[in-house]
């Protein structure tokens, strides 16, 4: 089974999950960790425990900020063969990863593609060429 984890500073990950479930429906294989929310700094042991409780499963962990404490705390998990760590998560990236990686054979390649695709969804909409592109949608 493939499992997905969203981990962020405060409630960003919870908000992304709520939005994902509004668009995609209930996501039973998606866990959320809200680091430092309500004074709770101890998210790392909870994530590690989830990974250790399911050694036969593959995990895609998505964090909010490259160089941020949440991502840095989870970097050590990348030594495990069943864990993939992605940072810079936003709604489009999380949705793409959930839809693409749920059943794919090569998760690492799929994640790389999802990251590249998500970059195209980050746009400064005041640019004039964007207006004409949006008209075509």
If one counts the domains in the chain, the total is: 1
d(CA 79, CA 98): 22
> What pTM did the predictor assign?
0.91
pLDDT at 127: 84
pLDDT at 3: 98
Query: Residue 79 is encoded by which pair of tokens?
Result: 């030594």
Domain range enclosing 46: 2-136
d(CA 17, CA 5): 10
Chunked into runs of 10 residues, the chain (137 residues) has average pLDDT values of 97 98 98 88 92 98 97 98 98 98 96 97 82 61
Contact, 26 vs 11, CB < 8 A? no
Q: Buried (b) or exposed (e) across 21-34, using 16+ Cβ within 10 A?
A: eeeeeebeebbbbb
CB-based contacts of 107, cutoff 8 Å, min separation 6? 2, 58, 60, 84, 101
d(CA 24, CA 20): 6
d(CA 62, CA 6): 5
d(CA 99, CA 14): 18
Contact, 9 vs 68, CB < 8 A? yes
CATH classification of the domain holding 91: 3.40.50.510
């Amino acid at each position: 089974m493939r499992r997905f984890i969203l981990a962020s500073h405060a409630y960003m990950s919870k908000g992304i999950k709520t939005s994902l479930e509004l668009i995609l429906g209930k996501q039973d294989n998606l866990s959320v960790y809200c680091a430092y929310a309500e004074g709770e700094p101890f998210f790392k042991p909870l994530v590690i425990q989830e990974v250790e409780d399911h050694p036969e499963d593959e995990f895609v962990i998505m964090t909010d900020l490259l160089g941020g404490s949440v991502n840095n705390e989870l970097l050590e998990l990348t030594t495990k063969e069943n864990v993939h760590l992605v940072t810079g998560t936003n709604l489009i990236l999380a949705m793409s990863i959930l839809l693409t990686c749920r059943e794919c054979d090569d998760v690492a390649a799929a994640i790389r593609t999802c990251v590249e695709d998500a970059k195209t969804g980050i746009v400064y909409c005041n640019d004039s060429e964007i207006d004409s592109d949006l008209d075509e949608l």
